[in-house]
Amino acid sequence: MIQPEAKPTKPHGSPNLKHSLNGALLITLPLLTGEAMAEYGLNFPEPAAGVAREIYDIHMLTMTIATVLLIIVFAFVFYSLYFHRKSRGYPADQDFHNSWFGNWSWVIVPVLVLGVDLTIAGKADAVLKSVWDVPKEKNIMDVKVTGHQWWWEFDYLDHGIKVESRFMPREQSGDLYLREVDNRLVLPTGTKIRFLHTSADVLHAFWVPELAVKKDAIPGYVTETWAELTREGVFRGQCAEICGTWHSRMPIVVESVSPERFAAWTGEQQAIKVAAAAEASTDKTWSMDELLSKGKALYETKCAACHQVNGMGLPPAFPALNGSAITNGPIADHLHIVLNGKPDTAMQPWGSLNDLEIAAIVTYERNTWDNKTGDVVQPVAVKQAR
């Protein structure tokens, strides 16, 4: 369910602010026309959530104040540079600092600056409360956002759905490379949504500019933000906190849909989940070929980012699996490291996968590349190893 890209439209902030900003930008960037500015994205994208709109407005307010102050400072400096120079024969006024102005400017200037500060702080404080306080509503929709090295996990706590979201290689994503994922975060419009942020390994940060939500994902912490989407569309963001090697490959794509379509989507996802669980829990003994084909697909989405498709890894950070002691050693050790991860490395526990998935991955790893153990690991063995 992929929607066509929403056409970027011009932000409709207060017209005066917009006008003065554009004017300032035109002064600084005389080569760019108004149309080019929209194309190149000189400002925040059009907000898609109520709070994002307020944030957009406070951004425009402070930027306008900053621009005006800058113009004032520049005007005084350039006036002085032009008129108060020796080459024009201007005599230095040796007593300027002893005039009444010199004696009282240390009071006048701070009072003026304080006035500006209070204007900004007052506005910001009013907005801050609505940004910071998640509405206390019983039926707020909860989405748990877990950062992993280097993918996102979205748990729809009220629907029992989990979405794993990974970047897509250039061949599949084209011009959206690094801004496109395999599974999007689908959210309904007009619904208050609470995001609960945490991390499975290192720090990450969830950032979607249209939602104006940015929060660090911290292991051991659950931080919260909220949003209520105001329009449908596809909104793209990226991980904002450096999280190691592939920090650049953690895009976030929010697909905002009507509540009806969202309900249909959740139904679909729940059905898929039920089917997968049923498949995994049968007592069936799986053949090598079945496990290998399942394992290949799983390996290439979940493991290949670090260990590489060819199993050679990227040493020293990511060890090779091809010919390694783990993939050719005892099955129990192999299962242990996949299920529990390796402390203080980027290898995370994969215990949240079901028994069949783990069995398929382990079987694949033990029988691919130069690894020829011939072991067929069945889901039952995984169950026992847990």
Partner 1 sequence: MTTTTLTHDEAHHHEAPQGWRRWLFSTNHKDIGTLYLLFALIMLFLGGASAMLIRMELFQPGIQLIDPDLYNNLVTNHALIMIFGGVMPAAAGLANWMIPMMIGAPDMALPRMNNLSFWVLPAAATMLILSFVIPFFPGGGTQINTGWTIYPPLSLQVGMSMDFLIFAIHLLGISSVLASINIIVTLLNMRAPGMTLLKMPMFCWTWLVTAFLLILVIPVLAGGVTMLLFDRHFGTSFFDAAGGGDPVLFQHLFWFFGHPEVYILLLPSIGVLSHVIPTFARKPLFGYKSMVGAMLAVATIGMVVWAHHQYTVGMSLGAVTYFMIGTILISIPVGLMVFNFIATMWRGAMTFETPMLFAVSIVLMFTFGGLSGVMLAVVPADMQYHDSMFVVAHFHYVLMPGAVFGLFAGVFYWLPKWTGHMYDEKLGKIFFWTNVISFNITFFPQHFLGLAGMPRRIVDYNVMFTEFNVISSIGAMVFGLSHLLLLYIVIKTIRGGKKAENRPWEGAKGLEWELESPPAFHTWTTAPQIK
Which 16-55 residues touch partner 1, going by CB under 8 A?
Answer: 28, 40-45, 54-55
Q: List binders of partner 1 among 320-349 (CB under 8 A).
A: 344-346
Q: What is the DSSP letter of 347?
A: -
| 58 binds partner 1 per the rule CB under 8 A | yes
d(CA 129, CA 46): 22
Q: How far is the CB of 29 from partner 1 (least distance, A)?
A: 8
DSSP 183-247: S-EEEETTSEEEEEEEESSS-EEEEEGGGTEEEEE-TT--EEEEEEB-S-EEEEEE--S--STTG
Burial label for 331, CB within 10 Å (0-12, 13-18, 19+), is: middle
Stretch that binds partner 1, among 120-128, 261-269, 280-288, 325-333 (CB under 8 A): 120-128
Q: How far is the CB of 101 from partner 1 (least distance, A)?
A: 8
Stretch that binds partner 1, among 75-83, 154-162, 268-276, 368-376 (CB under 8 A): 75-83
Closest C-alpha to 280, from 148, 379, 214, 368: 379
Q: List binders of partner 1 among 145-204 (CB under 8 A).
A: 175-179, 197, 201-203
| 138 binds partner 1 per the rule CB under 8 A | no
| 124 binds partner 1 per the rule CB under 8 A | yes
Angle between helices 355-366 and 331-340 (to 10 degrees): 130
Contact residue for partner 1 among 85, 284, 372, 386 (CB under 8 A): 85
- Sign of the Cα torsion 131, 264, 169, 297 reads positive
Q: Decide whether 43 or 189 has the Cβ nearer to partner 1.
A: 43
Secondary structure of residue 333 in the 3-state scheme:
helix
Q: How far is the CB of 43 from partner 1 (least distance, A)?
A: 5
Helix H or strand E segment including 313: none
d(CA 216, CA 239): 9
Q: How far is the CB of 338 from partner 1 (least distance, A)?
A: 19
Contact residue for partner 1 among 143, 205, 227, 234 (CB under 8 A): 205
Residue whose pair of structure tokens reads 């398929």 in the numeric block: 360
Residue 150: asked if its preceding bond is cis (omega within 30°), the reply is yes
Q: How far is the CB of 170 from partner 1 (least distance, A)?
A: 8
| 236 binds partner 1 per the rule CB under 8 A | yes
Q: Judged by CB under 8 A, how many residues of this single chain contact partner 1?
A: 94
Q: List binders of partner 1 among 247-286 (CB under 8 A).
A: 247-249
Contact residue for partner 1 among 4, 15, 30, 91 (CB under 8 A): 91
| 244 binds partner 1 per the rule CB under 8 A | yes
Angle, CA of 73, 76 and 79, to the nearest 5°:
145
Q: Find out whether 277 and 354 touch, Cβ atoms under 8 Å.
A: yes
Contact residue for partner 1 among 2, 4, 15, 87 (CB under 8 A): 87
Contact residue for partner 1 among 4, 316, 370, 374 (CB under 8 A): 316
Q: Decide whether 37 or 292 has the Cβ nearer to partner 1.
A: 37
Q: How far is the CB of 13 from partner 1 (least distance, A)?
A: 13
d(CA 357, CA 343): 22
Q: Decide whether 114 or 264 has the Cβ nearer to partner 1.
A: 114
